[in-house]
């Protein structure tokens, strides 16, 4: 064993958050649909996995089922995104998040307030599980980069930039939006599976509004649409509270303040920082 259990669990948490950020990046970053309820899809995946795993279903099957359930829910919300736009959509997705948590809280078969706790071990061992997490992060990163540079990605960018013009040009805006929602929520469902096996204990509060906000914060601090920016932001924002544990009592205060200051002084996110440096060096060289 090269790494301690603490370090391994940290890697697992970081991986899960990177996956969540990447999955939301498809919806919000690439396709421009702001979602304030992404934790609901994460939760739908986690609970699907939790219930099935409790019945003895093996991991690959629970993961597939979780992705399907989250993706279906994403399809429904995607349909809603065809009705409402921009700020209305943001609040609708926020509503979806609250309805999900409020529903789970009252379901005894999902453990209600007490939580779902009979999730079996994944059987991969600590190191094996972390390897799986990292492998999935790499896969999702490659998938996102591929999508971004495919025709699908160009369609997403067009929808994000100007929906009406895209429609005028004859592109099917509705199917692009639905694809973005299904793809993004499906991947959130996969992240939910890993979370369920990782904690082996699910409570509704773990998928609340605060989690949706922190996933969205990763995407926006990273710089919407930028795969690398989003990955770096997800890693940083996840580890930040660990690094500033010395000031434990102030860590959430500092987190909020950093969010505020990043947006105030770097509205384009980390990706913009890289772009600006590039411009700066380019200018110096030519001058």
Partner 1 sequence: MLYLELALQGLVNGSMYAVVAVGLTLIYGLLRILHVAHAGLFTLGAYTTVLLTNALGSLALGTAVSMLVVGLCGMVIYRLLYEPLLEQPPYVALIASIGLFISMEEGYRILFGPYGNSFSSAWLTARISLGPFNMAAADFAMLLGAVVLLVFLAALMSRTRLGMAWRATVTDAAMARSFGVDTIKVRYGIFFMASAFAAAAGSLVAVLNNLVEPTMGSVPSYKSLAIIVLGGLGNVGGTLLAALLLGVIEAFGTIYTGAYLDRDAIAFVFLIAVLMFRPEGLFTAK
Q: How far is the CB of 257 from partner 1 (least distance, A)?
A: 5
For partner 1, give the closer residue by CB, 243 or 253: 253
Site for partner 1 in 243-272 (CB under 8 A): 249-250, 252-253, 255-264, 267
d(Cα 209, Cα 243) in Å, to the nearest integer? Answer: 24
DSSP of 201-241, one letter per residue?
-B-GGGGSHHHHHHHHHHHHHH-TT-HHHHHHHHHHHHHHH
Q: Does 235 bind partner 1 (CB under 8 A)?
A: no
What letter would DSSP give residue 150?
S
Q: Which is nearer to partner 1, 86 or 242 (CB)?
A: 86
Minimal distance, residue 215 CB to partner 1, in Å: 11
Q: What is the dihedral of CA 125, 231, 225, 79, to 10 degrees?
A: 30
| Range 58-117, binding partner 1 (CB under 8 A) | 80, 83-88, 90-92, 94-96, 98-99, 101-103, 105-106
The DSSP bridge partners found for residue 116 are: 202
Report how far residue 217's alpha carbon sits from residue 211's, in angstroms, rounded to the nearest whole number. 10
Using CB under 8 A as the binding criterion, the count of chain residues that bind partner 1 stands at: 44
Q: Which helix (H) or strand (E) is 262 found in, with range? A: helix 251-265
Give me the residues that bind partner 1 (CB under 8 A), please.
28, 34, 80, 83-88, 90-92, 94-96, 98-99, 101-103, 105-106, 209, 213, 216-217, 220-221, 224, 249-250, 252-253, 255-264, 267
């Amino acid at each position: 064993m090269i790494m301690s259990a603490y370090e391994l669990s940290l890697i697992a948490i970081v991986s899960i958050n990177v996956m969540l950020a990447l999955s939301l990046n498809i919806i919000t970053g690439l396709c421009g649909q702001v979602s304030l309820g992404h934790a609901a899809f994460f939760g739908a995946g986690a609970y699907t996995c939790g219930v099935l795993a409790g019945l003895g279903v093996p991991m690959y099957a629970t993961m597939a089922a979780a992705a399907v359930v989250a993706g279906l829910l994403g399809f429904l919300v995607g349909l809603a995104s065809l009705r409402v736009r921009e700020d209305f959509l943001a609040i609708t997705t926020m509503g979806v998040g609250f309805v999900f948590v409020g529903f789970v809280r009252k379901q005894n078969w999902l453990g209600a307030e007490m939580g779902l706790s009979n999730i079996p071990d994944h059987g991969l061992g600590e190191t094996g599980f972390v390897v799986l997490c990292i492998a999935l992060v790499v896969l999702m990163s490659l998938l996102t980069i591929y999508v971004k540079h495919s025709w699908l990605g160009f369609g997403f960018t067009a929808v994000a930039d100007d929906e009406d013009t895209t429609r005028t040009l004859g592109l099917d805006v509705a199917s692009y939006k639905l694809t973005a929602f299904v793809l993004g929520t499906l991947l959130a469902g996969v992240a939910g599976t890993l979370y369920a096996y990782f904690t082996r204990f699910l409570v509704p509060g773990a998928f609340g509004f605060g989690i949706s906000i922190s996933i969205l914060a990763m995407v926006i601090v990273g710089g919407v649409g930028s795969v690398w920016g989003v990955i770096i932001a997800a890693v940083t924002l996840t580890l930040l509270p660990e690094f500033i544990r010395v000031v434990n009592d102030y860590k959430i205060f500092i987190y909020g303040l950093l969010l505020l200051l990043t947006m105030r002084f770097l509205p384009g996110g980390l990706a913009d920082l890289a772009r600006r440096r590039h411009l700066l060096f380019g200018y110096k060289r030519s001058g």
